[in-house]
Structure formats: C-alpha cells, structure tokens
A and B are shown apart, each in its own frame.
Chain A
Amino acid sequence: MSYTLKLRIWRGDRDGGEIQDFPVEVSDGEVVLDAIHRVQATQAGDLAVRWNCKAGKCGSCSAEVNGRPRLMCMCRLSDFEQDETITVTPMRTFPVIRDLVTDVSFNYEKAKQLPAASLGPRDADGKRRMAQVDVERGQEFRKCIECFLCQDVCHVVRDHEDNKEAFAGPRFFLRYAELDMHPLDTHDRRELAQGAAGLGMCNITKCCTEVCPEGIRITDNAIIPMKERVVDKKFDPLVWLGSKIGLRTKDDEGRVEV
C-alpha cells in the first residue's frame, strides 16, 4: 500500500539554505531513509546524504527528523500518521557541509585526544584472562556505533559553540568509562576526564541517553559512574585520607595516571 508522504528536507550549504517540500511516494514498511533515497533517485539527484548499512549498525545516516535526532534508517514511516508532515534537517550541532551532510570532525578530533587502551603483559601462556562480569560494563559502551546523535543533542555544545574546545561529549565519556572499567587497563584517566574532556560540564540532563539508537544507558552507566570515580580521586576527603594511611583499594593497583 502506498501513499504520498509530505516530506520536507533542508537543502543548502554553509552560505544558506531552506526547508523545501518534496512530496514523495512511499509504501508500507519503509523508513525515512527510503523516502530520502527516492527523492534522490527521482527528484534531486544531487541531494547530499550520508548512509551506509541501512540497518542501524554503522551510524552514518544521523539527522534530525521533526526536530529529534534520529538515524534515518531506523525511523519507520509507520510511526507517523500518513497525513503528517515529516521534516528532515541535518544535525544542528555540527557545521553543515551540504543538505543533510554535516562536518562531524569535532568527534574525530576528540577521539584523537583520548589516550588509547594500554594493557599490561599477557599471561605466561600468551593469552589474557578476564571474567565475563568484568567485561560486561565495557561491552555495553562498545556497542556504540558512533552515530554522534548524543553529541548532536547535547546542549553543552549544541547551544554553546564555544564549549566545543573544552568538552569531549557523551560519546567520549563512554570511552573514558569503558577504559576506566577495563579489568586489565593500566592507565588512570580520571584527571583527564574531568580536566581535558570536560566531564564537569555535563549536567546529566540525559538527552544523550534518550537519543541513543543502541539503547546504551550513557548517563546512568557511564557518565555518572565516571563522575563518581572522579569524586573518588578529586573531591572525597575520606578516600583521600584513606589512601594516605594505606587504606587504598587493591582494585586500583598498578594504574598510572596519564
């Protein structure tokens, strides 16, 4: 069963642009990305859009659908009324390149600044041993497909361009948390998380968690635990006192601050 979708798409570039109407034939079971592709194939061959897997696994087709950050390939038309207008715009936190394509280099820059995993030597038989319960927290964070919707929705940078310098964003707090919870990693990145990555700027309003297409509980499982870990290091006099008199948890042994 097909019908004509009232689709509106922002078209333009750095110099300006506007939301234009592209009424397009769509059918049952299709997603917003299908509609965009049909516009591209039939009405606007040069409509710029990023996409790859079309299955919610690569995180390329991030955009804003009716003002909400979404993956276009996971945004089913059946979630809307047939007579509803659907407005698609590029992500509004990153500089626009053209049409629905934005310059997401902010994220790749932040990735470069993050000290990578650094494990100690392997066991004598050349293998490593980690318990499943010890890797599970990190595994949740490594589900991240880097669609950067959390970065897009985060008001710290969305509404304040000048914070981009000092703030790494939810995607990289996930990474800090993952490494800090890694059972064999040897680095202590808590100072960095608070300092260089700007963890303190997050006011835990949870929009990153709301938009995550992978359902990662970014705020509860990564950012808040990371904030608490920073408190251990920087703001908790009892922990500080404990460490002075030798009441240090063995759990942190062998970690080197970077």
Chain B
Amino acid sequence: MASTDQGVTSPTRARITERTLRQDRWWLQPLTTFVVFSAFVVYATVRAFMGRDYYASPYLSPFYSPCLGDCVEGASDFGQPFAWWPLSAALIILIFPLGFRMTCYYYRKAYYRAFWLSPPACGVAEPHQSYSGESKLPLVLQNVHRYFWYAAVLVGLVLTFDVVLAFRPMPAEYAVGDGETSGIHMGLGTLLMILNVAFIWLYTLSCHSCRHIVGGRLRHFSQHPVRYRLWTWVSRLNTSHGKWAWYSLFSVAIVDLYIFLLATGTIQDVRFF
C-alpha cells in the first residue's frame, strides 16, 4: 500500500503504525461487492455486445428493451428509429439504466468502497495520496443523477409494457403440447419478468433523487400534504434502496439469462397456462 503520511500516520496524530486496528473481517463486504459487480459487468458486457438471442417470443430481454435498432422480428414494439445502427441494439438504450445505476447514491457508495477503496471500509486507511471526492470533473457529473432517474422511469414503463406483452400467446414453434388455444399465456419467463419489473420499480422509486423530487425539496411539508404523503412512502422504500439495487441487479441478469437460454433453444419455457 502507498504511504499514508497524509492520513492516520501524519505527524500530529497518535503514533500508531497499523492502517487499521479493526479485528473483524472488514474486507469481506468490499470483496463480495467487487466479485459480484465484476461478474455482472462481464456478463452484461458480453450480452450487450452479442446482439442476438435476446428475444424469445413473447419475451424480450431487459437489456434490449426497447429494441430500437435493427432488431429481430417481434422484438421492436416502438419501431426501429435506429435501424441504421450497425452495432448491437442494446448499446442504444443501455446507457440509461447504466447511467442511472452508475450515478445512484447506493452504487456510488458500493463501488467507491469496493473498486476504488476510498475507503475500503470504515476506519481503514485508503491507499490514495490525494482526494477531491465529487467536487471536480469527472465525478462532479454524479450530480446529474436526477436526469437518469427521469430516464429510468421511462425504462421502467417500457419494461412494464414488456411484462404485459409477456402474457401474449406463444407462436407455434415454441408451443408445447397441443399448441396455442387460449388468448393468454403465462410461463416461468412471465413470472421472472414480473418479479424483475417489481424490483426495478422498487429500486427506481426508492431513489434518493426521487425522494427529493416528490417532496424532499420542500421546506414546508405542512403546506403540501399530498407531496408529504408521497415523500413518506418514498422515504420508507428508500431505507432499503441498497437492497432493491442488489435484487434488481440479479433479477435483470436472471431474466436475460433465461431468455438467452430459451432463444438458443437450450431449455424450454415452463408454462403455467
């Protein structure tokens, strides 16, 4: 580790050489975060660049929704304004959920600790010589979080629409047994997408910027009873913002993986009706 004579070993402080005297396994949490986030990033990058196996009717992978590029048939419910786009369609829209999560107050805490070790854990000296936090470029741009939140609400609406579409009857090639008869379908994929969109909404609505926008910015709750009520609801969700961040991260990956496996024909959808 780099010298920290700027910090706990600087000359005026109590002369103690250890960078921390913590005896618990303080490294476990940042390490876990590091491993899981890294795994997700690798998986998501691979999937986003693949540009295929993201649609298994009626399911559309959340990485590709809305599918605005030159997408496979049935995947584009909002047209293809970016049909000229030469790369994977995921890359057109993924910036929004990615940006939302990158600037999220919870994720910031998690990755500053786990990836940048700033600090690795409370009371454990960080290995950097200087530090300016989020006061300068590029990190000052974290302040645009609320715009990504606006976008995230739109993404959430699209994903909700996808869930509705996931109740559509399946085309014949995926049909099992005696084919499609009823007008409504529900399979394991539908269920996963419902769960996913629920977590996405919990995550989106529990956002700190959302909490500010619905009412937190007020100085007189008493004069805005409706916004105050909304604020109390969001505040309650907000206490678990980190939990929703993790759950929705997993659910997005699992839904995508499930659709990938369906689309490649590796497995078949488990159908309830």
Q: Which residues of A contact B (CB under 8 A)?
A: 10, 12, 14, 16-19, 64, 66-69, 87, 89-90, 92-96, 102-103, 131, 133-134, 153, 155-156, 158-163, 180-183, 198, 200-207, 210-211, 219-220, 224-225, 227-232, 234-236, 249, 251-252
Stretch of B74-82, B218-226, B251-259 on the interface side: B218-226
Check if B132 sits within 8 Å of A204, measured CB to CB. Answer: no
Instruction: Determine if B22 and A67 form an interchain contact, defined as CB atoms under 8 angstroms apart.
Output: yes
Enumerate chain A residues within 8 angstroms of B212, measured Cβ to Cβ. 225, 228-229
Pairwise interchain contact A94-B13, C-beta atoms closer than 8 A: yes
User: Is B217 a contact of A228 with CB atoms below 8 Å?
Assistant: yes
Instruction: List, in ascending order, chain B residues with CB within 8 A of A230's CB.
Output: 143
User: Which of B40-48, B86-94, B121-129, B176-184 faces chain A?
Assistant: B121-129
Give 18 CB contacts A-B under 8 Å.
Answer: A66-B21, A67-B124, A96-B12, A131-B222, A134-B219, A158-B125, A159-B6, A159-B126, A159-B128, A160-B6, A183-B220, A203-B112, A205-B119, A220-B239, A227-B143, A228-B217, A232-B217, A249-B218
CA distance A219 to B112 in the complex (A): 15
- The answer to whether B219 and A203 have CB atoms under 8 Å apart is no
Taking Cβ atoms with an 8 Å cutoff, the residues of B that contact A are: 4, 6-8, 10, 12-16, 20-24, 105, 108-109, 112-113, 118-119, 122-126, 128, 130-136, 139-140, 143-146, 208-209, 211-212, 216-224, 228, 238-239
CB–CB B13/A96 < 8 A: yes
| A133–B227 CA distance with the chains assembled, in angstroms | 12
A228 near B123 with CB under 8 A, answer no
Interface of A is mostly: mixed
A228 closest partner in B (C-beta):
B212
In the assembled complex, the Cα of A163 lies from the Cα of B22 at a distance in Å of 24
User: Is B122 within 8 A of A211, CB to CB?
Assistant: yes
A12 and chain B: residue at smallest CB distance: B15
Cβ A89 vs Cβ B16 within 8 A: yes
Q: Which of B12, B221, B223 has the most CB of A within 10 A?
A: B221
Q: Write out the residue numbers on chain A whose beta carbons fall within 8 Å of the beta carbon of B14.
A: 10, 12, 17, 89-90, 92, 96, 102
What residue in chain B is nearest A15 (Cβ atoms)?
B15
CB distance from A67 to the nearest CB of B (A): 3
Q: Which residue of the partner chain A has the closest CB to B216?
A: A225
Q: Please report whether the interface of chain B is mostly helix, strand, loop or mixed according to DSSP.
A: loop
- Alpha-carbon distance between A207 and B145 when the two chains are bound, in angstroms: 22
A96 to B218, CA, bound (A): 42
Chain A contacts for B134, CB-based, 8 A: 200-203
Given A66-B23, A67-B22; A131-B221 close (CB under 8 Å) = yes
A234 to B135 CA separation, bound complex (whole angstroms): 13
Decide if A203 touches B133 in the complex (CB within 8 Å): yes
Contacts of B220 in A (CB 8 A): 131, 134, 183, 251
Closest Cβ of chain A to B209, distance in Å, is 6
Contact B21 A67 (CB under 8 A): yes
Interface contact A64-B140, CB-CB below 8 Å: no
B135 near A198 (CB under 8 angstroms)? yes
Partner of B15, one of A16, A87, A200, A236: A16
Give Cα A224 to B222, complex, Å. Answer: 22
* A161 & B6 in contact (Cβ 8 Å cutoff): yes
Query: When the two chains form their complex, are residues A229 and B217 in contact, meaning their CB atoms are under 8 A apart?
Result: yes
**Smallest Cβ distance from B111 to chain A, in angstroms?**
10
Q: Is A220 a contact of B238 with CB atoms below 8 Å?
A: yes
Give the one of B6, B7, B130, B144 with max A CB within 10 A: B7
Q: Is the CB of A252 within 8 A of B108?
A: no
In the assembled complex, which residues on chain B have CB atoms less than 8 Å from the CB atom of A96? 12-15
B123 near A67 with CB under 8 A, answer: yes
Known: A92-B8, A200-B140. Is A155-B228 also a contact (CB below 8 A)? no
Min distance, Cβ A22 to any Cβ of chain B, angstroms = 16
